[in-house]
Amino acid sequence: MQPKPIRLGTRGSPLALAQAHEVRDRLIAAWGANAPEVEIIPISTAGDRIQDRPLAEVGGKGLFTEEIEAGLLSGALDIAVHSSKDMPTVLPEGLILGHFLEREDARDAFVSLKHRTLAELPEGAVVGTASLRRAAIVRRLRPDVVVVPYRGNVQTRLRKLGEGIADATLLAVAGLKRLGMLEVATEILDVESFPPAVGQGAICIESREEDARIADLLAPIHHAPTAIALAAERAYLARLDGSCRTPIAGHALVTGDRVDLHGLILTPDGSVAHEGRESGADPEGVGDRLGARLAALAGPGFFSGS
């Protein structure tokens, strides 16, 4: 009797499907003749369906995961593949982010049909982005440009550029690479001056906590240094109570047993920012300490503007 296929849940966007296929391909490569059949199951999430409002107004990051996680909890799915930056810091009871693929490039790309770089944008140019982090950093670096809400998948955002809705946008380099579209980037932004979202560039695999069979299956494709970096970044985000409502950037690098974490928090208008670094051997401790330090610098009401 043939074993049942592994049921992999994912969002249905081209990028999400590319990430799901990458996980499946790596499982096949790792297990060879013993590789299980993997059935990719696209799932429409509330975050994909709601396109007329910023995510901050309708519930934040969980809108991209709730329906998929319900499938894991019910047993309809065995694993779920996500972009790590979409994941809330608190998961439903019984679910874990236990496995990560090796992180891709974490940087952001500036994309424009008219201008080569963010610095070369003329005064009053329009930058479209759905990310509060990207919007706040753009406003910090270029307070003379106009930032407007701009949602949709990569293809939709590029189409809007062609229609003249904005002069430029910002996209994750990792996503462009996975779609084979890196050539649309006109500038790759440095992680120091334009730090990425927590988890950017890393594919994570969510599963049931007690499912030893799935843990054994995923072990050969797990990248431990990426998991360590994400542990630091997610602990930092958790300390700041970060969500889609807050402009927070964080990026960890792992060298041997050392974790170096860079963090930046901003007011939504980019006018006030607090930045810091923390290092150590314990990733969760590094993230928690940096988050606590930046929260203390910011004071109560920083993100709400009160």
Fold of the domain built from segment(s) 224-297: Double Stranded RNA Binding Domain (3.30.160)
Collect all residues with Cβ–Cβ distance below 8 Å to 75 and sequence separation of at least 6.
none
Topology match between the domains 1-103+202-222 and 108-188: yes
Tens of pLDDT, residue by residue over 169-190, are: 999 999 999 999 999 999 999 9
Task: Tell me how many degrees the CA angle 97-103-107 measures, rounded to the nearest 5.
Answer: 120
DSSP, res 50: -
Phi, psi of 98, rounded to the nearest 5 degrees = -95, -10
Domain regions of the chain by residue span:
1-103+202-222, 108-188, 224-297
pTM over 0.75: yes
Tens of pLDDT, residue by residue over 42-84, are: 998 765 555 555 555 555 556 678 999 999 999 999 999 999 9
Task: Give catalytic residues, as residue numbers.
Answer: 86
Written as one letter, the residue type at 190 is: D
Three-class SS state of 283:
helix
Residue 21 has pLDDT above 70, yes or no: yes
Query: Is the domain defined by 1-103+202-222 classed in CATH 3.40.190.10?
Result: yes
Tens of pLDDT, residue by residue over 202-256, are: 999 999 999 999 999 999 999 999 999 999 999 999 999 755 567 999 999 999 9
Tokens read off for 26:
């790596």
Tokens read off for 79:
């694993």
Dist. CA 304–CA 294, nearest whole Å: 15
Tens of pLDDT, residue by residue over 82-94, are: 999 999 999 999 9
Class of domain 108-188: alpha beta
pLDDT at res. 299: 87
> In this structure, are strands 108-111 and 168-172 parallel, antiparallel, or unpaired?
antiparallel
